Amino acid sequence: MEGTFVAIGDSFTEGLDDPYPDGSHRGWADRFAEMAAAHNPDFRYANLAIRGRLLGEVIEEQMPEAIAMRPDLVSIAAGGNDLLRPGSDPDKLAAQFEDAVERLQEAGCRVLMFTGFDPIVFPFIRLVRGRAAAYNMHLRAIADSRGCDLVDMWAMRILCDRRAWSADRLHLTSQAHHRVALRACEVLGVPVAEDWRAPYPSPAPLPEWLSARREDLDWVRAYAWPWIQRRLARTSSGAHRAAKRPELLPVTSLGAATQQP
């Protein structure tokens, strides 16, 4: 496994909603770094991802910093926030993404890509399913033509379970972040003892219709409406935030590294 890894992207890679005991965010990238470091004590890791970032912002703000670190491996997962906005064009997003991949590879980086997940689980969010599917097809083609490593989260059917998602229906739970980290290890050839495909201990309970509609209404009030207000105000949940791990550091410096999934 390569010795240096930089992760760029949005809230998915920042690690929402996978908290450490102190309230900071862990996420799949921290978890992957821990697993990789188990086989390479000199492994170093930086995470430049910031919640709410659009693909163009990831490319403009984070990618130059990542390239300047001259890492062996860069992960890039972005575009989901763009797809949530009306009028987004998956074809144009994919063209931006491919240009970014080309720049990373020209800098000598191995590139790890992610498709988006299948948003079929919840109402409202599934309205973007068509655009997400089109964007994912582009991402698969980019990974194939350019020889990138790809974590296809759409194909991870274990994520099509309500228990994989936090209350806001946009961010993974700790257990789901753990599964994505295991899948990244599988793609990159990092040995792990667990299987990301392992089923949940029991079948997912199906909420009654009325209960489900109440949950939907609560979600609109608590999460969807504030999101709409931020869009109208042209602000982001990550405004004025800095990267949580802006330097390549040994993985032993991660907070609460022994936390269990």
Domain assignment of residue 105, yes or no? yes
Domain assignment of residue 180, yes or no? yes
pLDDT of 173 strictly over 90:
yes
For helices 27-37 and 174-188, what crossing angle results, to 10°? 50
Sequence-ordered list of residues with C-beta below 8 angstroms from that of 35, at least 6 positions apart, any chain: 181, 182, 185, 190, 192
Share of the chain above pLDDT 70, in %: 83
238-255 pLDDT, tens digit each: 667 899 999 999 998 676
Domain assignment of residue 25, yes or no? yes
pLDDT of 92 strictly over 80:
yes
Q: Which has more pLDDT, 182 or 86?
A: 182
Domain count, the chain: 1
Domain assignment of residue 74, yes or no? yes
| Angstrom distance (rounded) from CA 30 to CA 69 | 18
| Angstrom distance (rounded) from CA 131 to CA 87 | 10
Residue 84's CATH number: 3.40.50.1110
pLDDT of 224 strictly over 80:
no
Instruction: Give the pLDDT score at 125.
Output: 81
Domain assignment of residue 238, yes or no? no
Domain assignment of residue 229, yes or no? no
Domain assignment of residue 202, yes or no? no
Using alpha carbons only, what angle is made at residue 229 by residues 226 and 231, rounded to the nearest 5 degrees? Answer: 115
Instruction: Give the pLDDT score at 234.
Output: 60
66-91 pLDDT, tens digit each: 999 999 999 999 999 999 888 899 99
Domain assignment of residue 256, yes or no? no
Place 258 in a pLDDT band, splitting at 50, 70 and 90: very low
Region 40-47: what's the mean pLDDT? 95
CA distance from start to end of the chain:
23
Sequence-ordered list of residues with C-beta below 8 angstroms from that of 50, at least 6 positions apart, any chain: 10, 11, 14, 62, 238, 241, 242, 243
For 24, the domain range is 4-197
pLDDT of 257 strictly over 90:
no
